[in-house]
Chains A and B, each alone.
Chain A
Amino acid sequence: MGLTARPDRQLVSVSPQSQEGWVTTKLDFLVNWGRANSLWPMPFGTACCAIEFMATAASKYDLARFGMERMSFSPRQADVLICAGRVPFKLAPVLRRIWQQMLQPKWCISMGACASSGGMFDNYAVVQGIDTIIPVDVYVPGCPPRPEGLIYGIMMLQEKVKRERMSDERLRDELEPDPASKLYIPPEAIDELSEPFGNSVHQTRSGL
């Protein structure tokens, strides 16, 4: 009862912005502006989302106004990996290797429901979200997302790029997935979690 003593906490927060001078801020602005407006995409297009990506790149929704018309199919020359489409387990090492071949600075857009979470393919064959393999910056939902949706996702990425700071030392580190993370759930637990949502993992009502 009464007042309890406040625990002794560190009240000083260090923000990268406060460590910078005027030159670094202006340099950041210039570099980020350059990067955000010329993100060369690496279209890792597998399925239907790739067709909507092509439609976004075509005349009506034109990606060229974002500086993204130069599709780089070589990961060495690309800035942003747009994973458009479902990624089965057989393709997972390929995606990982393509990501590792890209040079920093690099970003990733997970386009569509299947790339973000496995989508409608909750089965033995499909990776349940590419963020289990590579680090993702922007998730664009949709099946497939409309070109306007993809463009919104790209603009969100541009916002993210523009907020980057050179003084942030950890920014360009290569991220590896953490095997100890809680993503790894055994099949019995997954089935138990999804039971209330119908019998979509049973062939008959008796549970085969």
Chain B
Amino acid sequence: MVDEGGRVTTLEAPPAMEPELEGEHMLINLGPQHPATHGVLRLVLELDGETVVRCIPHVGYLHCGFEKIGEYRQYNQIIPWTDREDYLNSPGNNVAFALGAERLFGVEITPRCTVLRVIAMELSRIMSHLVWLGTTCIDIGAFTPFLWSFQERERIYTLLEQWIGARLTTTLTRVGGMGADIPDGWMDGLRDFVRTFPKTIAEVDRMVTRNGIWVGRTIGIGAMTGPDAVNAGLSGPLLRASGVAYDVRKDFPYLDYETYDFDVPVGTSGDVYDRFLVRMEELRQSVRILEQAAARLPDGPVNVDDARVILPPKSKATSEMESMIHHFKQVMEGPRPPIGECYVAVESPKGEKGYYFVSDGTPKPVRWRIRPPSYVNLSAIPRMVEGHLLSDVIAINASIDIVMGEIDR
């Protein structure tokens, strides 16, 4: 069915060529080791021929006890673990954790740190969406966008390596500031990336968005209605493609996101094609935010001047007694927050990512809870795949954009 604008809206199934055969249902095990499950996910599918009648997902194959370990580490020591849970969005997780810990400590960060964190979060969003793009294209059959998106990722890796020393698992933030300030000339590299990246988006767009195979494999597949999606606790591009404009950056802002000029793309039908369009548009909007952040980066210190949480500079720690004591206490014991709890949520590329801290006044948290967006998003997959074909299961799974590290923690 084609609308007035020439855009394909629905596809009709071709006429049945074979007589209806009575058959029994088949039990198929997809995973946990599978190229297209985006990690170690196991889906048990009941198939009637090629059509999925029921889907039972099994997770936990990457459960590594993150939340348990968090109770045995000081707050700054937990930050490397936040890299590894959603490993596609490492800088974003680092920022989210630092925001939560700073609220727990009652510490306000500097203006320069605020803008640098916005840059980190948006670079992280671009990185994550690029992996999603590359792997989704491979799953549906297009290999080249994978190479293009990883080439762009390499450019971001170079920027992050210049900043903090690591490519993927960055450990970018500390409670009260950042691990390091950006080096000289780094902003030129960022501006260069921001200037040339839209060309890659446009190239992938030209190749994929109106491609007959792509459209045929993604339109009408795996749709969720808006109210169902809200009730299921979905978030991120998955929820926005179903028509609900919930974005944590707009509705519960942090890091001065309300002062940036950007749009939040919202879909209509919630199918795989809409999710694809929403994420492609988010890439463009992230570039917009990066341009604004690059323009407004203020000078000044990047770490807050609070000796309770931030290590004093080495020159002072080795010469002044007070700084030496602060350094000693922070390294040996760790910064102590007041008794309390807080929950801070950010908009990660997967959805509403939250960290819930409970503190009893000791340097190690009593409870560190990760609210995993992919976990809740994936729990809706049985509803999304019912009635679709086996190859659609792969497309739907790719469109949810899951990271097993975050799901299983």
Do chains A and B make direct contact within the complex (CB under 8 angstroms)?
Answer: yes
Residues of A within 8 A of B (CB): 44-48, 50-52, 54-55, 58-60, 71, 73, 85-86, 88, 90-91, 94, 98, 120-121, 123-126, 143-144, 146, 200-204
Q: Mark B152-173, 1 if CB is under 8 A from A, else 0.
A: 0110010000000001110000
Interchain Cβ contacts under 8 Å between A and B, 16 examples: A46-B404, A48-B83, A48-B87, A48-B168, A50-B39, A51-B88, A54-B150, A55-B150, A58-B154, A59-B150, A73-B35, A90-B61, A91-B40, A121-B65, A123-B64, A144-B168
B167 with A146: CB separation less than 8 A:
yes
CA of A124 to CA of B72 in the docked complex: distance in angstroms? Answer: 13
B83 proximity list for chain A (CB < 8 A): 48
B151 x A204 contact (CB < 8 A): no
A123 touches B65 (CB 8 A): yes
Inter-chain contact total with CB atoms closer than 8 Å = 100
Q: Which residues of A contact B35 (CB under 8 A)?
A: 71, 73
Residues B332-381 near A (CB distance < 8 A): 362, 364
CB distance B64 to A88 under 8 Å? yes
Interchain CB contact under 8 A, B64 and A121: yes
* Known interface pairs A58-B147, A60-B154, A90-B60; A144-B169 also in contact (CB < 8 Å): yes
Residue of B nearest to A47 (CB): B405
Question: Counting CB contacts under 8 A, is B81 at the interface?
Answer: yes
Cα A55 to Cα B135 in complex, Å, equals 12
Question: In the docked arrangement, what's the CA distance between A203 and B88, Å?
Answer: 29
Closest CB of chain B to A95's CB: distance in Å?
A: 8
Q: Is the interface of A mostly helix, strand, loop or mixed?
A: loop
Flag B78-117 by CB within 8 Å of A: 1 or 0 each.
0011011001100000000000000000000000000000
Minimum CB–CB distance from A44 to chain B (whole Å) comes to: 6
Contacts of B64 in A (CB 8 A): 86, 88, 121, 123, 125-126
Chain A residue with Cβ nearest B83: A48
- Are A91 and B65 closer than 8 Å at their CB atoms? no
Residue numbers in B under 8 Å from A52 (CB-CB): 167-168
Supplied contacts A146-B167, A203-B72, 17 more A-B pairs, CB within 8 Å: A46-B39, A46-B40, A47-B87, A58-B150, A58-B151, A60-B150, A86-B64, A88-B61, A88-B63, A94-B32, A94-B33, A94-B40, A124-B65, A125-B68, A144-B169, A203-B71, A203-B364
5 A-B pairs with least C-beta separation: A58-B150, A48-B87, A125-B65, A73-B35, A123-B65
Give chain A nearest CB distance to B350 CB in angstroms: 15
Q: B230: CB under 8 A from chain A?
A: no
Q: Which chain B residue lies CB-closest to A200? A: B72
Cα of A197 to Cα of B65 in the assembled complex, Å? 21
Smallest distance from the beta carbon of B200 to chain A beta carbons, Å?
A: 13
Q: Mark B21-49, 1 if CB is under 8 A from A, else 0.
A: 00000000000111100011000000000
Please list the residues of chain B having a beta carbon within 8 angstroms of any beta carbon in chain A. 32-35, 39-40, 60-65, 68-69, 71-73, 80-81, 83-84, 87-88, 131, 134, 146-147, 150-151, 153-154, 157, 167-169, 362, 364, 404-405, 408
Q: With A126-B64, A200-B73 as given contacts, are A48 and B405 in contact (CB-CB < 8 Å)?
A: yes
Provide the residues of chain A in CB contact with B71, threshold 8 Å. Answer: 203
**In the complex the two chains form, is B69's CB within 8 Å of A123's CB?**
yes
Chain B residues with Cβ below 8 Å from A60 are 150-151, 154
Q: Which residue of B lies closest to A60 (CB)?
A: B154
Contact of A55 among B40, B61, B80, B154 (CB under 8 A): B154
Contact B68 A51 (CB under 8 A): no
Give the complex CA separation of A60 and B157 in angstroms: 12
User: Is B72 within 8 A of A120, CB to CB?
Assistant: no
Verify B69–A121 contact, CB threshold 8 A: yes
- Cα A44 to Cα B32 in complex, Å, equals 10
B73, B147, B169: which has the most chain A beta carbons within 10 Å?
B169
Structural contact, B62 and A46, CB atoms closer than 8 A: yes
On whether the beta carbons of B168 and A51 are closer than 8 Å, the reply is yes
Nearest-neighbour CB distance to chain A for B167, whole angstroms, equals 7
Give CA–CA (A123, B67) in the complex, Å. 11
* CB of A69 to closest CB in B, whole Å: 11
Q: How far is the CA of A201 from the CA of B68 in the complex (A)?
A: 10
List residues of chain B with CB within 8 A of the CB of A98. Answer: 33
Q: How far is the CA of A206 from the CA of B362 in the complex (A)?
A: 12
Which of B71, B81, B88, B154 has the largest count of A CB atoms less than 10 A from its CB? B154
Collect the chain A residues with CB atoms within 8 Å of residue B80's CB. Answer: 120
Q: Which residues of A contact B167 (CB under 8 A)?
A: 52, 146
User: Complex Cα distance A72/B192, Å?
Assistant: 37
Q: Is the CB of B169 within 8 A of A125?
A: no
Distance (whole angstroms) from the CB of A191 to the closest CB of chain B: 13
Cα distance A102–B124 in the bound complex, in angstroms: 37
A45→B31 CA distance, assembly (Å): 12
Output the nearest chain B residue to A201 by Cβ-Cβ distance: B72
Given contacts A46-B404, A59-B147, A86-B64, contact A120 B168 (CB under 8 A): no
A45: B residues at CB distance < 8 A: 39
CA distance A45 to B404 in the complex (A): 11
